[in-house]
Amino acid sequence: MQHTYLLIGNSDGIGAAVTRALLAQGDRVVGISRSPSPLGPNGPRHIVQDIAAPEYPQILKNLLAEEGPFDACIYCAAIGSRLTLPDLSKEARVVEVNFTSMVRTLAALAPGWLEKGQGHFIGLSSLADDFYNADSPSYTASKAGFSNYLVAMAFKLRSHGIYVTNIRFGFVDTKLPKASWKPLMMTADQASAHVIQCLKSKPVQLSVPKLAGLAIHSIRWIQSMRIWWF
């Protein structure tokens, strides 16, 4: 049976890999990003839109009126920004794209899913949600809020037939990660395979690679000691 999926942020990276995988298994995809779809005019339906722009919620509402409730939504959009003092001007936009627009997306989708009694929202978070990163505070804080929000919403919505899945990836080989050392890095296709599996198994949370998650959690523990030292 063909499913229809809404992908937010699928012009590149993991979102583009998930789009290719879904189309290859015969599903339908509607995508949103600022750039056109790399699959061109003969590819799936694609809306060119900045999800942090004020008109985004209305555009989503119009799309839902046309398409009806999607079987699932996969939120892949994110930006990262290295903080270089004294310029903090890009910090708020990172939180807006990575976190606030995700909350707005789920708010637009939830009423239709609640009425139908089924739906699935998958959000791509990061193992960085468990890390104080002084070089990218807005990215790590946006991901901490993202993970916390989605797990809480998973608990809230499950009894209404709606699944929410928070996926926490380590390094994935796309243009997004700016670190000079990227241990245990996955390809975008490997990350996409985890997303496709989550569409079937619908876990509340998936963290991959587990070893990287453990390492980051240990670093956070050491960082917490620094709080007392300061």
Ligand X SMILES: NC(=O)c1ccc[n+]([C@@H]2O[C@H](COP(=O)([O-])OP(=O)(O)OC[C@H]3O[C@@H](n4cnc5c(N)ncnc54)[C@H](OP(=O)(O)O)[C@@H]3O)[C@@H](O)[C@H]2O)c1
Which residues here bind ligand X, judged by CB under 6 A?
9-15, 33-35, 50-52, 76-79, 97, 124, 126, 169, 171-172, 174-177
The distance of closest approach from Cβ of residue 176 to ligand X in the complex, given in angstroms and rounded to an integer, is 4
> Closer to ligand X at the Cβ: 116 or 178?
178
- In the complex, residue closest to ligand X by CB: 13
Whats the size of the chain, residue-wise?
230
> Closer to ligand X at the Cβ: 2 or 35?
35
> Closer to ligand X at the Cβ: 160 or 177?
177
> Closer to ligand X at the Cβ: 33 or 81?
33
The distance of closest approach from Cβ of residue 79 to ligand X in the complex, given in angstroms and rounded to an integer, is 5
> 163: part of which helix (H) or strand (E)?
strand 162-169
Would you list the DSSP string of 190-209?
HHHHHHHHHHHH--SEEEES
The distance of closest approach from Cβ of residue 10 to ligand X in the complex, given in angstroms and rounded to an integer, is 6
C-beta neighbour count of 161 within 10 angstroms:
13
> Closer to ligand X at the Cβ: 10 or 138?
10
The distance of closest approach from Cβ of residue 87 to ligand X in the complex, given in angstroms and rounded to an integer, is 19
**Cis amide bond preceding 209, omega within 30:** yes
Q: Which of 182, 166, 88 is nearest to 124 (CA)?
A: 166
Buried b / exposed e over 179-208, threshold 16 CB at 10 Å, is eeeeeebbebebbbebbbebbeeeeeebbb
The distance of closest approach from Cβ of residue 159 to ligand X in the complex, given in angstroms and rounded to an integer, is 27
